[in-house]
Amino acid sequence: RVMMPGFLRDPARYIRLFDIFALSSDSEQYPISLVEAMTSAIPAVATDVGDIRHIVAKENRPFIVPREDEKGLASAIRALAADAGLRATVGEANRFIACSQYDEETMFARYRQLYGSAMKRADFARQA
């Protein structure tokens, strides 16, 4: 079954119900919905646009298909749908990546480091 509920205030509550997260975008950079699915240990089938291939766990990368490859997208969905063990393995790998690299605390620390580094360079350039 496919549900398209539109805007939801608490998407994580519903994402946890998914067996597979599918994202067929023609254009994305860093889809938050993908990271939300990963946090819930959901395997993803997605088009290879933006940073998607670099966001998901390596175990999930075989299910990232070329943009506009509808048959490849359908095949990847079927492969995951047919194998509960594979879904669990890929989903847990995604969860590990999401929780270790994309959690709020880690992201804020990276931004602080990046901005701090940039500000030091700017100060150095002004003093020179």
The CATH number assigned to the domain holding 20 equals: 3.40.50.2000
At residue 46, what are phi and psi to the nearest 5 degrees? -150, 160
The pLDDT tens digits along the chain (128 residues) read: 777 778 888 888 888 989 999 999 999 999 999 999 999 999 999 999 999 999 999 999 999 999 999 999 999 999 999 999 999 999 999 999 999 988 888 888 888 888 888 887 654 444 44
Residue 66 structural domain: 11-102
Assigned domain for 53 exists: yes
**Alpha carbon distance 54, 63 (integer Å):** 13
Decide if 49 contacts 26 (C-beta within 8 A): yes
Assigned domain for 40 exists: yes
| Structural domain total, the chain | 1
**Alpha carbon distance 22, 25 (integer Å):** 9
Residue type, 6: G
Q: Which residues partner with 64 through β-bridges?
A: 46
> For the packed helices 84-101 and 32-39, what is the interaxial angle rounded to 10 degrees?
110
Q: Which residues partner with 47 through β-bridges?
A: 65
Assigned domain for 86 exists: yes
The structure's pTM equals 0.79
Assigned domain for 49 exists: yes
Decide if 97 contacts 78 (C-beta within 8 A): no
**Alpha carbon distance 60, 122 (integer Å):** 40
At residue 103, what are phi and psi to the nearest 5 degrees? -75, 160
